[in-house]
Amino acid sequence: MKLQTKIVGAVPILTGLDLESISRLGNGLSLIYVLFPISTGYIIYKKNPEAMARSTFKIGKTPLMIITTIGLAGYVMAAILNFADIQNAGMMLVIFFAAVIIYAFLREKHVNKVAEEKRLAASGKAE
């Protein structure tokens, strides 16, 4: 079992939450993972305009922003409702997001190195 899983699993136990709160916390955290693909709707035209031009599913930038905002609002409301009755939920969310941000900064160098190696390997095969 990975250390991250043990740490995440221990947090509710150490904070003294009951089973219902732990369940709500799990459901709420699963909503957070859905936010990542939803948030790509805001940056897809900027990051990869060629992909949007080649896409078989054509949607303009403005309608995509509207749909993305509606989806984001729905998921944020669902997360708020899930976390509303949990004591110390705000603090746990801050700790969770801080841990995710720290992890992302620590992994960025490695991920960039792997991406560059793949890009070089692909360009070497293309020649």
Determine the Cα–Cα distance for residues 76 and 82; give it in Å rounded to an integer: 10
pTM over 0.85: no
pLDDT band at 43 (very low <50, low <70, confident <90, very high): confident
Higher pLDDT, 88 or 34: 34
- The CA distances from residue 21 to 4, 14, 83, in Å, are 20, 13, 9
The stretches of 1-127 forming alpha helices (DSSP H) are 3-15, 19-47, 49-54, 61-83, 89-126
Determine the Cα–Cα distance for residues 38 and 49; give it in Å rounded to an integer: 17
**pLDDT tens-digit series, residues 61-91:** 899 899 999 988 888 787 777 777 666 666 7
Question: How high is the pLDDT of residue 81?
Answer: 76
pLDDT band at 125 (very low <50, low <70, confident <90, very high): low
For the chain, which residues make up each domain, given as ranges? 3-126
Q: Could you give the count of Cα atoms lying within 13 Å of 93 in the half-sphere of its Cβ?
A: 17
For the chain, the average pLDDT equals: 79
Best CA proximity match to 78, nearest among 36, 29, 23: 29
Stretch 93-117: mean pLDDT: 84
